[in-house]
C-alpha cells in the first residue's frame, strides 16, 4: 500500500492513536506489566516509520493521561524511565529522519529530568515540518479545555468574547499548531476515547481494533486507513452537498 489515501479524497493528514493493551500483552506472556510498556515503546518507533512510509505528516499518540498517576507508584516510575529511554535512544533517529517532536498536556508535572529531555528534543527538532510526532503526556481533554478557557479569559476582553468562535477558541488549545485528527485509532478492543482529543476529534473517523498495542503493525495501520478511505466524511452536510464539493469542506 504505497499511499495513505485514494485520489478522490483529501489525503489523510493526521492520525491519532490511543496505545492501549500493554499490560494485557504482558499478562498473556507471563511477563511483568513494565515489559508490556517497554514493548509498546519499541512499537511506537516502528509505527512512526510506517506513518512516514505512508506519507502521513502528523501522528499523535496518547502516552500518559492525567488518570495514569493513579496506577501503582512503581509502574508510574517505570513509565517515566521508559519515556527517558525512548528520548535517549531515538533522538538521533528523530533528527536524522527530520521528525518534529511536540508535547501536549501539562508535561511540566513530569519528573524534572524527563522535562529537560523532552524540551531538549523539542528544541532540536523545532525546525522540521514534514513529519510530526506529538506525545500526549499528563494529558486530559477536559483539563485542556479548562486551560484554554482560562487563557482565553486572560487575553480577551468582554467585547471580543462576544465574537468568540471555534477558530479563536482552538487557538488557545494545546493543539493550536496541529490540524484536527482525521482518524483516531484505539487498540486492545476498548471502545471509548478516554478523554483524548474530544473537541479536536469531533469529525474524526474512529477505528477500534482488538489488536493489543505491542502487536499493532503496519498492516493493522493500513487496515485502519482502508476503513477511513471507505468512509464518507460529511462534516454535518448531506450526501448531495458533499457531491457538489470539489474538495473536503473546511469547517470553521
Asked whether the predicted pLDDT for residue 8 surpasses 80, the reply is no
Decide if 204 is inside a domain. Answer: yes
Decide if 87 is inside a domain. Answer: yes
Decide if 239 is inside a domain. Answer: no
Is the pTM value of this prediction over 0.85?
Answer: yes
Whole-number average pLDDT of the chain = 89
Contacts of 195 (CB under 8 A, 6+ apart): 65, 66, 67, 140, 141, 142
From 4, 49, 68, 215, active-site residue: 68
Decide if 168 is inside a domain. Answer: no
- The reply to whether 154 belongs to the active site is no
From 20, 174, 180, 182, active-site residue: 20
Cell numbers for 128, please give them.
Answer: 522540521
User: CA neighbours within 13 Å on the CB side: how many for 1?
Assistant: 19
Read off the pLDDT of residues 162-195 as tens digits, 9 standing for 90 and up.
Answer: 778 898 899 999 999 999 999 999 999 999 999 9
Q: Would you state the pLDDT for residue 71?
A: 92
Q: What is the mean pLDDT of residues 222-232?
A: 94
Q: Would you state the pLDDT for residue 154?
A: 83
- The reply to whether 22 belongs to the active site is no
Decide if 174 is inside a domain. Answer: no
Q: What is the mean pLDDT of residues 85-100?
A: 93
Decide if 49 is inside a domain. Answer: yes
Decide if 243 is inside a domain. Answer: no
Decide if 153 is inside a domain. Answer: no
| CA-wise closest residue to 195 among 67, 7, 4, 74 | 67
**Could you tell me which residue, 9 or 161, shows the higher pLDDT?**
161
User: Which CATH number do you get for residue 190?
Assistant: 3.40.1180.10
Cell numbers for 100, please give them.
Answer: 518534529
Res. 252 pLDDT band, cuts 50 70 90? very low
Q: Is the dihedral of CA 23, 24, 26, 32 positive or negative?
A: positive
Domain residues for 48? 14-140+181-229
Q: Would you state the pLDDT for residue 237?
A: 60
| CA quadruple 40, 46, 51, 57: dihedral, nearest 10 | 80
**Contact (CB, 8 A) for 16 and 201:** yes
Q: Would you state the pLDDT for residue 251?
A: 34
Q: Would you state the pLDDT for residue 165?
A: 87
Count: domains in the chain: 1
CA 183 vs CA 11, 82, 107, 125, 179: distances in Å: 11, 27, 24, 25, 11
Contacts of 101 (CB under 8 A, 6+ apart): 94, 118, 121, 122, 125, 133, 134, 135
Amino acid at each position: 500500500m504505497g499511499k495513505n489515501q485514494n485520489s478522490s479524497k483529501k489525503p489523510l493528514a493526521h492520525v491519532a492513536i490511543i496505545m492501549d493493551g500493554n499490560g494485557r500483552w504482558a499478562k498473556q506472556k507471563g511477563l511483568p506489566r513494565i515489559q508490556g510498556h517497554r514493548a509498546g515503546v519499541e512499537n511506537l518507533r516502528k509505527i512512526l516509520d510506517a506513518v512516514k512510509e505512508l506519507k502521513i505528516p502528523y501522528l499523535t499518540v496518547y502516552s500518559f493521561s492525567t488518570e495514569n498517576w493513579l496506577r501503582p507508584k512503581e509502574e508510574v516510575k517505570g513509565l517515566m524511565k521508559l519515556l527517558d529511554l525512548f528520548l535517549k535512544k531515538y533522538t538521533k533517529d528523530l533528527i536524522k529522519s527530520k521528525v518534529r517532536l511536540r508535547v501536549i498536556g501539562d508535561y511540566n508535572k513530569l519528573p524534572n529530568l524527563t522535562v529537560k529531555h523532552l524540551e531538549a528534543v523539542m528544541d532540536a527538532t523545532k525546525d522540521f515540518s514534514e513529519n510530526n510526532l506529538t506525545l500526549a503526556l499528563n494529558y486530559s481533554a477536559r483539563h485542556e479545555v479548562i486551560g484554554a478557557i482560562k487563557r482565553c479569559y486572560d487575553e480577551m476582553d468582554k467585547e471580543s468574547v462576544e465574537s468568540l468562535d471555534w477558530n479563536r477558541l482552538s487557538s488557545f488549545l494545546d493543539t493550536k499548531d496541529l490540524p484536527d485528527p482525521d482518524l483516531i485509532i484505539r487498540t486492545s478492543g476498548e471502545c471509548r476515547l478516554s478523554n483524548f482529543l474530544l473537541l479536536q476529534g469531533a469529525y474524526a473517523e474512529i477505528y477500534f481494533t482488538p489488536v493489543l498495542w505491542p502487536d499493532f503493525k503496519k498492516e493493522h495501520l493500513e487496515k485502519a486507513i482502508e476503513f477511513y478511505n471507505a468512509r464518507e466524511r460529511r462534516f454535518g452536510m448531506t450526501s448531495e452537498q458533499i457531491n457538489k464539493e470539489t474538495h473536503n469542506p473546511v469547517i470553521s
